[in-house]
Amino acid sequence: MKKLNHGFTLLELVMVIAIASIVLAGALPSMTQTIRNNTVASQNMSMIAMLNFARSEAIRRNTDVTMVLSTSGNTWSATVQDPNDEEVVPGCDEGELRCTSNNNVAMSSAVSTLTFNNRGYIVDDSWSTTTMYLQHQQCSGLNQRSRIDITPVGQVSSCSLACDSTAVC
């Protein structure tokens, strides 16, 4: 009478583990790059949403609305200030219409405040485009840096860049 085997030999198990390890080792760097790209893209969309919100509130309220930007190392935050300093929004300080705080991405900008007037224009004597950059703290490839431009009339545009690039979109 023949005995039936119902299982794997140790050699078969070791071979499957070895092959899986090789496949995972090849996929891990790609996955890390994808996570970094998505982190920058997500925070880029967060910044654009804050800018568009501040602009639309200025138009809706028919008054100037200021957005305050702050950065510290690889952390940045943005708040849209209530012109009447009365609003109470969950998660934000009193007098803030909207707030966000982000990690692992550095922000660089020549301005720390942006004020939109009742027409949605940036209140600035220079009448020039404001540019800011967001870059992952461990930037090592394409799409881990983004450039955001705000025109004097309040239009926002952005594009993805390679690390440390200052190319025009």
What are the pLDDT digits (tens) for 2-33? 666 677 788 888 999 989 888 877 766 778 88
Structural contact between residues 143 and 155, judged by C-beta atoms closer than 8 angstroms: no
Please count the other Cβ atoms lying within 10 Å of the Cβ belonging to residue 97: 20
Three-class SS state of 11? helix
Structural contact between residues 114 and 122, judged by C-beta atoms closer than 8 angstroms: yes
Report yes or no on 166 lying in a domain: no
Report yes or no on 98 lying in a domain: yes
Report yes or no on 3 lying in a domain: no
Report yes or no on 113 lying in a domain: yes
Report yes or no on 169 lying in a domain: no
Q: Tell which residue, 167, 161, 158, has the closest CA to residue 143.
A: 161
**Average pLDDT of adjacent 10-residue blocks, the chain of 169 residues:** 73 89 77 89 96 97 96 93 91 93 92 96 90 93 92 95 89
- Please give the residue range of the domain that contains residue 156: 10-161
Report yes or no on 65 lying in a domain: yes
Q: What angle do CA 123, 127, 132 make, to 5 degrees?
A: 80
Report yes or no on 43 lying in a domain: yes
Number of domains in the chain: 1
Overall pTM surpassing 0.85 (yes/no): no
Q: Tell which residue, 44, 106, 99, 97, has the closest CA to residue 72.
A: 106
Question: Domain with 83 in it: what CATH number?
Answer: 3.55.40.10
Report yes or no on 167 lying in a domain: no
Q: What is the mean pLDDT of the chain?
A: 91
